[in-house]
Amino acid sequence: MFLASTLISDKIPPVKTSDPAYRVLDWMNEFKVEQLPVVNSKSLLGIISESDVLEIEDLNQPVGDIQLSLPANLSVYSSQHVFDVLKQMELYKLDVLPVLDKNSEYLGLISRDELLQGFAKLFSISEPGGIMVLEMLEKDYSLAQISRIIEAEDAKIIALFVNRSFDNTQLNVTIKLNASELTRITASLQRMNYQVIMSFFDKTQLDDTKDRYDLLMRFLNT
């Protein structure tokens, strides 16, 4: 199970209510984030954003005197699934999200970088294998049937993601396989009336995908 507890990072420290505003800006600049949690002892008091700090005139003013614009209860528990983390970070456009234990005490935070790396592992991005995208009506989607077709060709699904098409009429099913040569699998799926709209099976293409991922990771870490 992929829980929030697996992504907690201690690289970025929280701020305290007694910390001056200029220190908050220094840390945001150092860690390249636009928010930081405000924590006294183990109590999460909220998240301060860069825009909160820039609205005040005196940067010597302590954090505790600054009005916070983000909801005070913005956090996840360590036992929540990573999709809950993604939902909150996307909804509020966060770079960091605090994590609490079962007693609502602060454990640490999850950064955008940790979240991205976590999803890379969850969807086996760096694992060798082919990728294909199927398009179908929702009524035609059957994971069991798709799996049977693929496994009949001596391959297995190692990751799968389903999303709706732009016009919301069909499903796009992205499948990561443990096989790099997809010709026979594609033919078998097509014989069963599945539409394969994209496939990536050439080693050069797979290496290029991994190179782009590595480039993105280096960009986020700069």
Instruction: Write the single-letter amino acid at 25.
Output: L
State the span(s) of the chain assigned CATH 3.10.580.10.
Answer: 4-120
Binning pLDDT at 50, 70 and 90, where does residue 219 land? low
- The pLDDT value recorded for residue 109 is 96
User: What value, to the nearest 5°, has the Cα angle with vertex 151 and ends 150 and 156?
Assistant: 85
Cβ contacts of 2 within 8 Å, gap of 6 or more: 81, 82, 118, 122
- Backbone φ and ψ for 23, nearest 5 degrees, come out as -70, -35
Order of strands, edge to edge, in the sheet holding 76-77? 76-77, 96-100, 106-111
As a whole number, the mean pLDDT across the chain is: 87
pLDDT at 155: 93
What are the tens digits of pLDDT across the range 119-147? 777 666 667 788 899 999 999 999 999 99
Give Cβ neighbours of residue 202 (< 8 Å, ≥ 6 apart).
none
Map residue 196 onto helix, strand or coil: strand
Which neighbouring-strand residues pair with 162? 173
Q: Name the residue type at position 128.
A: P
**According to the model, what pLDDT value does residue 9 have?**
87
Structure tokens at 164: 């709706």
What predicted TM-score, i.e. pTM, was given to this entire model?
Answer: 0.67
Amino acid 159: pLDDT? 84
pLDDT value of residue 125: 66
Which residue ranges does the chain devote to CATH 3.30.70.260?
126-218
Between residues 36 and 201, which one has the greater pLDDT? Answer: 36
Average pLDDT over residues 199-204: 63
Q: At what angle do helices 203-220 and 112-122 cross, to 10 degrees?
A: 160
What is residue 149's predicted lDDT score, i.e. its pLDDT? 96
The predicted structure's pLDDT at residue 113: 87
Mean pLDDT within 160-180: 85
Q: Measured between alpha carbons, how far is 47 from 71 in angstroms, rounded to an integer?
A: 8
What pLDDT does 216 receive? 55
- Identify the band that residue 206 occupies on the pLDDT scale cut at 50, 70 and 90: very low
Fold (topology level) of 4-120: CBS-domain (3.10.580)
Q: Is the pLDDT of residue 45 over 60?
A: yes
By the 8 A CB rule, do 39 and 78 touch? no
Q: Among 10, 163, 6, 33, which residue's Cα sits nearest to residue 89?
A: 33
As a CATH number, domain 126-218 is: 3.30.70.260
DSSP, res 8:
-
